[in-house]
């Protein structure tokens, strides 16, 4: 252990409460919590430790919790989707579900007294929310068309599932990895277009050929935070696309991070800070020691050589006579009825499978070619279009102030309203990726967008108003790069005119 890491003696408040009681411990107390009610809970259990189980207390909607699932590779069966629909349905107008930018799904309006029953139903359906919040590994992403794409290089589905199983003990909870210094993101890309945004993950596996053999180059350290954002850097390691290698290297990096990660200042507790503290070569040596064998040096180039696709519309699969259809879900918001309808479409037309994308959309695969025309007449496609307008198509938004106490502005409905206003006024020749995030935590990932909008407050006419900071220049797919902040404190009421001019000046839009 380096001297700097060893000298960290002061614990921040998060490290103190984790040392007092592991977050996973509240799993055994859920029945008791349900009996006494959320208002009687210990404050730290309520506001922090429940997140280890994916249960989030929301101060802006007291008594109505958010439940964050784990959806490895963004794949669910129609039966699983129906279980989720039934859960949110019981809460009426308070119940809804959001697709996240990590191919995941979050349920809203959940009552704590129902959690024991909900967890029983989730386990029966083969789902879990375990270790999906706070200082844990978040949902593991993979290509949304894994096993479908005729041009894919590596089918990531099993690898993603095995990494999740290792981290969560097959969904039961794994104390080995419940005390990381901070949250942690892993992505496994199997295609050519960087569908998982590899550059923003703490660990990313990206396809690469070495001496004619296909495997993964390993990237490390990508992250967003309120104080700093960094793209992942090469570990200078290549591994074969096997379960042993991918799971083993993931475990090794997590162990090094868990045991050596900086913990005094939470703003400096992400993996990149540790890599910089140790030096990349020393960090790599420690990973090799934890892995138990040396790592081959990286392939010269990876195979991320396509522009990024959004998977919307009808696309041919590698399976003859089958297609998948990508549906645009405006800012990822789903009702119980939407979930029931999506499950029905997957059963009637497909093979009872649905997939989520990091753009917050839904894919229904395995539709026979002869049934596509009938599928496209389904009423749900009037709401979830396969031909959305050029701003709506690539629009991404975090939860915003409606449900999140960190958000400084309302995002989802405002994002839709602004997009529709601009689409009504402008001819926009190409899709433009606009990402909204309600606060500097960057859940909406504005740094990967062509136009990124981050919630803040600004003064206008002597009053504090909702506003955004403007980011530009994010690029995804081949040669991905993070955008940078170019303007601060634009009042939200002035935003349409500002964006209108940007679309005309930078993206070739013309007035209608």
CA dist., res. 119 & res. 223, Å (int): 31
In the chain, which residues fall in CATH 3.30.413.10? Answer: 180-310, 396-511
Tokens found for residue 294: 């040396």
CA 112, 118, 123, 128 torsion-angle sign: negative
> Is position 68 annotated as part of the catalytic site?
yes
In the chain, which residues fall in CATH 3.90.480.20? Answer: 1-132+311-385
pLDDT value at position 446?
Answer: 86
> Is position 183 annotated as part of the catalytic site?
yes
Please give the model's pTM, rounded to 2 decimal places: 0.93
User: What is the per-residue DSSP string for 140-196?
Assistant: PEE-TTTTT-TT-S---HHHHHHHHHHHHTTTT--GGGS--SS-B-EEE--SSS-TT
Catalytic residue selected from 229, 398, 404, 443: 443
pLDDT value at position 399?
Answer: 82
Element (H, E) at 24: none
> Is position 443 annotated as part of the catalytic site?
yes
pLDDT averaged over 10-residue windows placed end to end, the chain, 512 residues = 42 92 96 97 97 95 96 98 98 96 97 98 98 97 97 97 98 97 97 94 97 97 88 97 98 98 94 98 98 97 90 97 97 96 98 97 98 98 96 89 81 91 94 90 86 92 92 86 91 94 95 94
Rounded to 10°, the helix 157-168/243-260 angle is: 40
CA 274, 276, 278, 280 torsion-angle sign: positive
Catalytic residue selected from 109, 171, 215, 444: 444
pLDDT value at position 408?
Answer: 85
Residues 6+ apart with CB under 8 A from 254: 137, 167, 177, 180, 184
DSSP state of 346: H
Count of Cβ atoms closer than 10 Å to residue 508 Cβ: 13
pLDDT value at position 10?
Answer: 67
CA dist., res. 380 & res. 458, Å (int): 40
- Closest by CA to 191, choosing from 433, 475, 477, is 477
Second CATH level (architecture) for the domain 180-310: 2-Layer Sandwich (3.30)
> Is position 248 annotated as part of the catalytic site?
no
Catalytic residue selected from 111, 183, 258, 420: 183
Distance of CA 267 to the CA centre of its chain: 20
- Closest by CA to 153, choosing from 103, 185, 203, 195, is 195
Catalytic residue selected from 147, 173, 190, 438: 438
Q: Give Cα separations from 321 to 152, 316, 362, 368, 378 (angstroms).
A: 18, 8, 21, 6, 20
pLDDT value at position 384?
Answer: 98
CA dist., res. 355 & res. 297, Å (int): 34
- Closest by CA to 307, choosing from 483, 478, 482, is 478
> Is position 412 annotated as part of the catalytic site?
no
For 1-132+311-385, CATH number out of 3.40.640.10, 3.90.480.20, 3.40.50.1700, 3.20.20.220 equals 3.90.480.20
- Closest by CA to 426, choosing from 315, 372, 502, is 502
Report the half-sphere exposure of 347 (CA within 13 A, side-chain side).
Answer: 12
pLDDT value at position 2?
Answer: 36
For 396-511, CATH number out of 3.10.20.30, 3.30.413.10, 3.90.1150.10, 1.10.3720.10 equals 3.30.413.10
- For tokens 């550059």, name the residue: 199
């Amino acid at each position: 252990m380096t001297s700097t890491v060893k000298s960290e003696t002061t614990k921040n408040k998060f490290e103190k409460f984790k040392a007092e009681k592991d977050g996973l411990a509240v799993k055994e107390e859920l029945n008791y919590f349900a009996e006494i009610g959320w208002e009687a809970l210990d404050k730290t259990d309520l506001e922090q430790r429940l997140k280890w189980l994916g249960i989030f207390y929301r101060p802006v909607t007291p008594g109505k919790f958010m439940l964050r699932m784990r959806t490895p590779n963004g794949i669910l069966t129609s039966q699983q989707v129906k279980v989720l629909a039934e859960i949110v349905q019981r809460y009426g107008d308070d119940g809804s579900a959001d697709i996240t930018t990590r191919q995941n799904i979050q349920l809203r309006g959940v009552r704590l007294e129902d959690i024991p029953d909900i967890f029983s139903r989730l386990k029966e359906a083969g789902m879990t929310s375990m270790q999906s919040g706070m200082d844990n590994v978040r949902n593991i992403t993979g290509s949304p068309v894994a096993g479908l794409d005729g041009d894919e290089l590596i089918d990531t589905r099993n690898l993603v599932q095995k990494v999740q199983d290792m981290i969560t003990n097959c969904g039961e909870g794994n104390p080995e990895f419940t005390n990381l210094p901070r949250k942690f993101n892993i992505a496994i890309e199997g295609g050519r277009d960087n569908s998982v945004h590899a550059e923003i993950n703490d660990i990313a596996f990206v396809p690469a050929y070495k001496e004619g053999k296909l495997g993964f180059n390993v990237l490390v350290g990508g992250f967003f935070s309120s104080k700093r954002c960094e793209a992942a850097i090469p570990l200078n390691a290549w591994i074969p696309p096997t379960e042993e290698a991918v799971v083993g290297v993931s475990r090794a990096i997590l162990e090094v991070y868990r045991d050596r990660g900086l913990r005094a200042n939470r703003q400096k507790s992400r993996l990149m800070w540790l890599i910089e503290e140790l030096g990349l070569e020393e960090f790599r040596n420690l990973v090799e020691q934890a892995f138990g064998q040396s790592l081959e040096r990286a392939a010269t180039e990876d195979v991320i050589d396509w522009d990024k696709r959004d998977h919307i519309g009808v696309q041919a699969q590698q399976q003859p006579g089958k297609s998948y259809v990508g549906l645009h879900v405006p800012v990822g918001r789903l009702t119980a009825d939407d979930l029931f309808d999506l499950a029905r479409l997957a059963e009637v037309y497909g093979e009872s499978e649905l997939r989520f994308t990091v753009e917050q959309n839904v894919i229904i695969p395995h539709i026979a070619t002869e049934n596509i025309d009938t599928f496209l007449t389904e009423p749900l496609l009037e709401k979830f279009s396969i031909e959305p307008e050029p701003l709506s198509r690539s629009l991404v938004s975090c939860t915003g102030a409606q449900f999140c106490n960190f958000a400084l502005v309302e995002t989802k409905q405002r994002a839709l309203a602004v997009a529709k206003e601009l689409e009504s006024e402008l001819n926009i020749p190409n899709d433009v990726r606009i990402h909204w995030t309600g606060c500097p935590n960057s859940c909406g990932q504005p740094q990967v967008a062509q136009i990124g909008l981050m919630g803040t407050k600004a003064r206008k006419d002597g009053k504090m108003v909702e506003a955004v900071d403007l980011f530009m220049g994010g690029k995804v797919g081949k040669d991905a790069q993070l955008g940078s902040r170019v303007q601060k404190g634009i009042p939200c009421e002035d935003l349409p005119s500002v964006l209108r001019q940007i679309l005309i000046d930078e993206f070739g839009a013309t007035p209608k």
